[in-house]
Amino acid sequence: MKLIVLLIIAVILYFIARSYKTEKFANIKLDIKEKFEGDLMQHEAGLLVALMAKVAKADGEVCELEAQLLKHTLNDISRHFENQDEIREKLKDIYKKEKESFNNTLEICQNLYKLTKNNYQKRVKIMEYLLNLAFIDKDFSNTEFMITEDIAKALQIKTEDFQKLVNAFETFYKKQKEAEGISLEKAYEVLEARKDDDSNIIKKKYRTLVKKHHPDIIAGQGASQNIIDEATNKLQEINEAYEIIKKSRGE
């Protein structure tokens, strides 16, 4: 039952960092380790991984961010056990098996509910962790909403509490997207370009600005050290802007 400690720590790390970088879930240490040799599908650890498999595969594929989070989670959960190598392999097997079908999702939820029946807040934290996984690729699809909603109902989580969690994640990613949008807008401004310019025009403007602000060229013109330093900073800004624009265009 100590698995909830892992979940709580992970969620706390999220709120502290306000970011879903997978490394935030790594290196969680517990002083007391459990020895378990039974069926992990009767243990919170196995049931959690099974539900993670359902959520990760809900939209048809497991993205790289989801895969990384799953990898770190399996590592951190297995370190909770004395026989961690054995447990990790069993959890991997559970994940591989459970991502292939959604038919037993309700049964898994019912088993998890039995283990957490007297701890509502624990189930809310589990739900928060599953939503973290669903949102990590920044695209909370209708399918992901439906399966997480079904899980929440089966775990007897109040509708208002589930919606509150969803709203919190949506607000976070909306703000993050807005911040990225401002950054992209600034990048076009730095390159003296427009969003509807094609890639060749962007590249041409980038090269023109590099030649104009390259510190070696400025130095060769006999400029003072202060001007050279300003050119160095400007060139860095130009390079960063160009990388942001290329990334936004998938180049």
The residues spanned by each domain of the chain are 3-157, 181-248
> What is the distance between the alpha carbons of residues 82 and 21, in angstroms, rounded to a whole number?
27
**Sign of the torsion formed by the C-alpha atoms of 229, 231, 234 and 240:** negative
pLDDT, residue 35, reads 78
C-alpha 71 chain-centroid distance: 12
Reported pTM: 0.65
> What's the pLDDT tens digit per position in 143-154?
999 999 999 999
**Residue 126 to residues 17, 130, 209, 243: CA-CA distances in angstroms?**
19, 6, 51, 38
| Residue 155 CB partners (closer than 8 Å, separation 6+) | 109, 112, 113, 116, 123, 126, 127
Whether the pLDDT of residue 14 is over 70: the answer is no
pLDDT, residue 169, reads 92
Which residue is listed with tokens 């997207």?
177
> What is the distance between the alpha carbons of residues 194 and 183, in angstroms, rounded to a whole number?
14
Residue 235 tokens read as 């060139």
| Residue 125 CB partners (closer than 8 Å, separation 6+) | 4, 7, 8, 11
Confidence of residue 189 (pLDDT cuts 50, 70, 90): very high
Q: Tell me the CATH number of domain 181-248, given options 1.10.3470, 3.30.450, 1.10.287, 1.10.357.
A: 1.10.287
> What's the pLDDT tens digit per position in 99-157?
999 999 999 999 999 999 999 999 999 999 899 999 988 889 999 999 999 999 999 99
> What's the pLDDT tens digit per position in 56-71?
999 888 887 788 888 8
